[in-house]
C-alpha cells in the first residue's frame, strides 16, 4: 500500500491494481457507503444531503452512488426493530432511506430513482462491514 504521493504514483505506473468488482464500500471516516456499478470515468452530482450519484462523463448514465449518514440509518433501524437476515442488507434499503429527502431541483430524484433501483437490485452488504469496531 502506498505510504505517500510518490509511492502512490509509482504504484499507478506499475499497472492495474486488480479486476474491477461492483461491490459497495463503507468509508467509516466519512460515514458513507460508496458503490460503483461500472468502472468508467465519472463525475459527481449531489441529489440531496444524503445521496450523491456518479454519472458517466461519456453519456451521463449512472455509474454509482454515495449514501451518507449510514450510522444514523443503522441506529434508526435498530430503534424500529428492523430485522437483518443472514447478516446481509440490500443496498436498496440505504438508497430508499436517502431518496426520502427531496431534491432542490424538481424532478431530479425521479430522473435517477429507476437507474439506482436497477444497479442496486442484487447488491447485498455484510452488516458487520458497516459497524465500526468498538
Instruction: With respect to residue 76, please indicate whether it lies within any of the assigned structural domains.
Output: yes
Instruction: With respect to residue 59, please indicate whether it lies within any of the assigned structural domains.
Output: yes
**Domain total in the chain:** 1
Instruction: With respect to residue 40, please indicate whether it lies within any of the assigned structural domains.
Output: yes
Instruction: With respect to residue 8, please indicate whether it lies within any of the assigned structural domains.
Output: no
**pTM beyond 0.85:** no
At residue 49, φ and ψ (nearest 5 deg) are -70, -15
Q: What is the pLDDT along the chain (134 residues), one digit of tens a residue?
A: 445 677 767 776 776 667 888 889 999 899 999 999 999 999 999 999 999 999 999 999 999 999 999 999 988 888 888 777 788 889 999 999 999 988 877 777 888 899 999 999 999 988 887 765 44
Which range marks the domain in which residue 62 is found?
24-129
Instruction: With respect to residue 134, please indicate whether it lies within any of the assigned structural domains.
Output: no
* Separation of alpha carbons 27 and 33, rounded Å: 6
Amino acid at each position: 500500500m502506498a505510504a505517500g504521493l510518490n509511492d502512490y504514483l509509482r504504484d499507478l505506473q506499475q499497472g492495474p491494481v486488480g479486476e474491477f468488482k461492483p461491490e459497495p464500500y463503507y468509508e467509516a471516516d466519512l460515514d458513507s457507503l460508496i458503490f460503483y456499478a461500472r468502472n468508467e470515468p465519472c463525475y459527481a452530482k449531489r441529489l440531496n444531503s444524503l445521496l450523491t450519484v456518479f454519472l458517466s462523463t461519456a453519456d451521463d448514465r449512472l455509474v454509482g452512488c454515495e449514501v451518507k449518514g449510514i450510522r444514523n440509518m443503522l441506529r434508526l433501524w435498530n430503534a424500529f426493530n428492523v430485522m437483518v437476515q443472514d447478516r446481509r442488507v440490500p443496498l436498496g434499503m440505504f438508497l430508499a432511506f436517502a431518496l426520502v429527502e427531496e431534491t432542490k431541483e424538481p424532478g431530479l430524484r425521479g430522473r435517477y430513482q429507476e437507474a439506482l433501483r436497477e444497479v442496486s437490485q442484487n447488491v447485498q452488504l455484510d452488516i458487520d462491514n458497516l459497524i465500526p469496531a468498538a
